[in-house]
Amino acid sequence: MQNFTDRVQSAVLDGENQGPYSGFDGGAGPEKPEYAVLDPKSARKEAVKDMKRELIMDAAIKVISREGYTNARLEDIAEEAGFSKASLYQYFPDKEALIIHIIIREQRDACTRFTEIVERGLPFLDSIREFAATFEGSFFNNAKAFSPFGRTQPSLTMLSNFVVSMTKHEDLFNETVMWRQRMSNVLMSLVARARADGVLTIPVDDQTVCLYIGSFFQAMMMDTLHTCHADGEKKVDINEATDKLFIFFQPWINEKDRRRG
């Protein structure tokens, strides 16, 4: 059995359980904030705390985009957010925890948007294109902050060091895995519906289809990191990228959905 450090490295660098969108068991869809069941006074207090956390995370993205992850200091992030460094520590114990919270926020928001796409009942290929646009758009918004974790050797070394540092935050790491699994569940529901409707006839199981799509999303993420590192204004062309993905599915998509995809 892998120890926690090995499991972190496996999940972040290579993808846990065969792919980037598989991991721990979990339900689908976003959860309500815990303060939703509190009394009004406590709920307001928790809501204010959440707003302050959001301000700090937004400030962190700005500072890291400007200074780079290594050079970004917590006091600079606190100043950008309008807090003292001591106040920042009330919300985030260190820079690694702050970054993981940003990742969780993006995962949670993407899961919500993925669910909304599925509920709209679009054709299968249109839904996948919407998924890709949501995923890439959300990631590109923060790509400058994460561009140091790109493809170059120094970047990979920095990523490896960051992965090791995540061992200090096991609960947060497990939460990132949970949200990845929830996104996987939403994607799985889309694939299952397409198969049940006779739209998708590919002769492999739904999990394999989801792993393939997830791998495509991961590759698109790395392209975004790479292009942002080289040219901060360039985004991945979603239509061009998804057209390449659709070439794989075309033999197993019925004619009606193919025309609309």
Structural domains of the chain, ranges and CATH numbers in brackets? 4-21+103-260 (1.10.357)
Query: Which residues make Cβ contacts (< 8 Å) with residue 251, sequence separation at least 6?
Result: none
What one-character-per-residue DSSP string does 38-81 give? S-HHHHHHHHHHHHHHHHHHHHHHHHHHHH-TTT--HHHHHHHH
| Whole-number Å distance between alpha carbons of 205 and 182 | 19
Give the pLDDT of residue 157.
Answer: 54
Give the pLDDT of residue 9.
Answer: 42
| Whole-number Å distance between alpha carbons of 112 and 31 | 10
Write the pLDDT tens digit of every residue in 169-212.
Answer: 889 989 988 998 999 999 999 999 999 999 999 999 999 999 99
Task: Find the Cα–Cα–Cα–Cα dihedral 205, 211, 216, 222, rounded to 10°.
Answer: -170
Give the pLDDT of residue 23.
Answer: 33
Give the pLDDT of residue 98.
Answer: 92
Residues of the chain with pLDDT below 50 are 1-30, 32, 150-156, 230-231, 258-261
Give the pLDDT of residue 16.
Answer: 38
Give the pLDDT of residue 11.
Answer: 42
